[in-house]
């Protein structure tokens, strides 16, 4: 991700028809977290760009669209005894980093918007 680019990240069900679970706008150089993701397998898609138009829900300049090169699996680990259950924690970095953990594949805008309630 260009250090000056903002991002819109979304999590979708991995099965068809895909359904958007959540969608999150992230300003350049910010970090965000999401909790309460149900156990399952998901696809991550994200758009990078400049000048986010909240009304039109799109970047006005320099937009590019990607999806994760692999499914993300979230699991609940049942504890024995009085210990609380544990949940997977998944961290991803959208910008390209050496030995990064999220391979990204370019997609088109139509594919990025798949699964959104308004589509």
Contact 85, 74 (CB under 8 A): no
Q: Which long-range contacts (CB under 8 A, 24 or more apart) does 90-95 make?
A: 92/44, 92/68, 94/1, 94/7, 94/9, 94/26, 94/46, 94/48, 95/1, 95/2, 95/3
Distance of CA 117 to the CA centre of its chain: 16
3-state secondary structure of 51: strand
Instruction: Give me the domain span that covers residue 13.
Output: 6-109
Q: Per the domain annotation, does 1 fall within a domain?
A: no
Q: Per the domain annotation, does 73 fall within a domain?
A: yes
Q: Per the domain annotation, does 59 fall within a domain?
A: yes
Contact 68, 102 (CB under 8 A): yes
Confidence at residue 95, expressed as pLDDT on a 0 to 100 scale? 64
Tally of domains within the chain: 1
Confidence at residue 88, expressed as pLDDT on a 0 to 100 scale? 65
What dihedral do alpha carbons 92, 95, 97, 101 form, nearest 10°? 20
pLDDT-based confidence at residue 6 (cuts at 50, 70, 90): very high
Residues 82-95: tens digit of each pLDDT: 776 666 666 777 76
Residues 52-69: tens digit of each pLDDT: 998 988 899 999 999 988
Residue 23 has pLDDT above 70, yes or no: yes
Confidence at residue 75, expressed as pLDDT on a 0 to 100 scale? 79
**Whole-prediction pTM value?**
0.80
Residue 33 or 119, more confident: 33
């Amino acid at each position: 991700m260009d250090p000056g680019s903002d991002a819109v990240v979304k999590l979708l069900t991995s099965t068809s028809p895909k359904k958007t679970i959540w969608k999150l706008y992230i300003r350049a150089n910010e970090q965000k977290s999401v909790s309460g993701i149900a156990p399952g397998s998901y696809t991550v898609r994200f758009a990078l760009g400049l000048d986010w138009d909240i009304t039109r829900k799109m970047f006005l300049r320099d937009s590019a669209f990607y999806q994760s090169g692999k499914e993300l699996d979230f699991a609940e680990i049942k504890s024995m005894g009085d210990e609380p259950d544990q949940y997977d924690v998944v961290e991803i970095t959208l910008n390209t980093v050496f030995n990064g953990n999220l391979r990204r594949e370019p997609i088109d805008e139509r594919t990025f918007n798949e699964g959104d309630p308004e589509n």
